[in-house]
Chain A
Amino acid sequence: MSQSAAEPIEPILTRNFGRPDSHTLTAYRETGGYTGWAKALALEPAAITDAVKRSNLRGLGGAGFPTGTKWSFVPKGHAGPIYLVINADEGEPGTVKDRYLLERDPHALIEGMLIAARAIGSRLAFVYVRGEYVAPWRRFSAAVREAYDAGYLGRGLDVVVHRGAGAYICGEETGLISSLEGRKGWPKLKPPFPAIKGAFGAPTIVNNVETICQVPHIVNRGPEWFAALGTQTQGGTRLYSVSGRVRRSGVYEASVGVTLRQLIYEHAGGVTGNGRLKAVVPGGASAAILRADEIDVTMDVDGLRNAGTMAGSAGVIVMDETVSIPDALRVVARFYAHESCGQCTPCRETTGWIYRMTERIVEGRGRKEDLDTILDVARRGTGTTICAFYDGAVGPYISYIEKFRAEFEALIPHA
């Protein structure tokens, strides 16, 4: 790690969050807005992609894929249209950060889009905002109009703001593309990857809101600066959404190398309930759960992967000792059962089945074999589906039961 993650860092993504007018073009310009874009205009597209590669920026939507590498997958010299699609379909339980960025720093997203579009050769970009985000959608749309009026947009890049209609699966990038095309949000088999054949059949780069908001700073202050804010394999800061049983829930910006312990006890002010930590989900509901003795981990993609879970969307959900883990799993299993899109058999069938098993366990009607059935069914389905939704569901199914098995067994008669 090039910098001690314990040291508070200068706010980057959140630097303007405190200003009541932070969403306006005037405020954005006063704090250096659109200067990254001015610099990017003097750079060759390939040089922008190269800078993003050297910054070690990794996708902040969930998968953690290196952003510059993704951009370089767009076929060179492609003759037809190339699209940039911004994933603002924020839906991962525990995650709230993109809402903050859309509402409080919409021009950062627009500036990042201008730079990204130049890098990949796109002249038309879509921003897919989750349907329930009405206020963020209005806020962002107003910023887009300002950017048109000021001449940033409409001279080489057009932006279409698109509203979803309620479906978690549309956050998955190929489900999102299906939805953008006017269909139900069924994910598509990869390959072809969107960078080769994506929205409307054209090469498409899908990036998360927060990922793209980082880009102006990388161009402005240099990839080395950005890389040094993080760990060896991931640069920068990110926004952690912290909720559940903590004193101060909210959005906190910190290095990707911050530890989970620091987030819970320093940023979020410690645990409520009975004050003693029992478990924590580090990266949105789909990340495997960690026990209280597993929180001395760094929050970067590789740090959490080595801990057997994932950084995901950095949604941190904290549970104190009074929380029932079987009940928490029931709530999470209900979510996956509700949101499965129904395309792949293992996901469609088992998300409902597993929910029913967790429900009867919590209600004291569990059967002796239920826990092993859940584990067996979950493992068999892993890796068999078109998209990663099901693997995301399996994370909690397996980890909650394996790490807190006694608590489940205590609820099952004759277990």
Chain B
Amino acid sequence: MTPSRPQFTPEQQAEVRRLQGLYPDPQGALLPVLHLAQDVFGYISEEVEEYVAGLFGLAPAHVHEVVTFYTMYFREPKGRHIVSVCHNLSCHLAGAPGILDHLRRRLGIEPGGTTDDGRVTLLAVECLCACEMAPMLQVDDRYEGNLTPETVDRLIDQLQ
């Protein structure tokens, strides 16, 4: 949950300064710092955008423009786990529509939705560049390929 006024710990602030120091212009660290902010606060709310903007001396509107441009920043609370099913061509040819349908039924949500218990957010995404293991999905940091409804069930069962 995002507290009303987001604030990094002193260690996290030091990490921000380290990241900013890696680039010829500190603004280069904006994407990495937004990754950090999402890890810490769960998602990028408007308050987090304003806080991050303050760390860079940027307009909040600039940070908002960046956050909304990229698919990996969430602007609303997400599930504890993200399951992203690739629906691009190679996965499509290997049965991605069936995998997605299976997950829709199993989780009772549409892509973009989160289960009521907050366990899983389901996404349909473009090519994750693991087409050799199509059909595939990403669960949090991990790629899982050569999926069948059975392996998908097992993956979902393992998520807390």
Contact = CB atoms under 8 A, between A and B. Distances in A.
Interface centre among B94, B126, B128, B134 (most CB of A within 10 A): B126
Interface residues of A, number: 58
Contact of B93 (A95, A245, A339): A245
B28 A93 contact: no
A339 B129 contact: no
- Size class of the B contact interface (CB-based, 8 Å): 35 or more
Nearest to B68: A184
Contacts of B30: 182-183
Interface stretch (B1-9, B19-27, B110-118, B151-159): B19-27
Contacts of A335: 88-89, 126-127
B119 to A, nearest CB: 20
A341 B65 CA distance: 12
Nearest to B134: A243
Contacts of B129: 90-93, 95-96, 98-99, 130, 133
Contact of B28 (A91, A181, A241, A338): A181
B151 to A, nearest CB: 17
Contacts of A243: 90, 93, 131-132, 134
A323 interface: yes
Contact of B66 (A99, A135, A180, A182): A182
Contact of B126 (A81, A160, A339): A339
Contacts, number: 150
Contact of A165 (B34, B90, B127): B34
B131 A241 contact: yes
Interface in B123-144: 126-134, 138, 141-143
Contacts of A331: 87-89, 92
A200 B88 contact: no
A288 interface: no
Contacts of A182: 23, 25, 27-31, 56, 66
B97 to A, nearest CB: 10
B72 A332 contact: no
Interface in B75-129: 84, 87-90, 92-94, 126-129
A236 interface: no
Given A132-B128, A167-B69, A181 B89 contact: no
A95 B30 CA distance: 28
B25 A132 contact: no
A99 B130 contact: yes
Interface string B12-43: 00000000001111011111101100000000
B133 to A, nearest CB: 8
A245 B135 CA distance: 12
A112 interface: no
A164 interface: yes
A181 B126 CA distance: 24
Nearest to A320: B93
A244 interface: yes
Interface centre among A91, A165, A319 (most CB of B within 10 A): A165
Nearest to A250: B132
A249 B145 CA distance: 12
A185 B92 CA distance: 27
A94 B127 contact: yes
Contacts of B143: 135
Contact of B141 (A135, A165, A199): A135
Given A93-B131, A249-B132, A166 B70 contact: yes
A339 B73 CA distance: 15
A162 interface: yes
B89 to A, nearest CB: 5
Contacts of B131: 93-96, 241, 243-244, 249, 315, 317
Contacts of A317: 89-90, 93, 131
Interface in B38-64: 56, 62
A315 B70 CA distance: 24
B160 interface: no
Contacts of A130: 129
A12 interface: no
Given A93-B90, A245-B93, 15 more contacts: A96-B132, A131-B70, A132-B128, A163-B31, A165-B31, A165-B72, A182-B25, A182-B27, A182-B29, A182-B56, A184-B69, A243-B90, A243-B93, A331-B92, A338-B126
12 contacts: A94-B90, A132-B72, A132-B84, A162-B31, A164-B31, A167-B71, A183-B30, A184-B66, A242-B132, A245-B93, A251-B132, A335-B127
> What 9 pairs across the A-B complex have the smallest Cβ distances?
A182-B30, A166-B71, A184-B69, A165-B70, A182-B27, A243-B131, A166-B72, A93-B127, A134-B141
Interface of B: 22-25, 27-32, 34-35, 56, 62, 65-66, 69-73, 84, 87-90, 92-94, 126-134, 138, 141-143
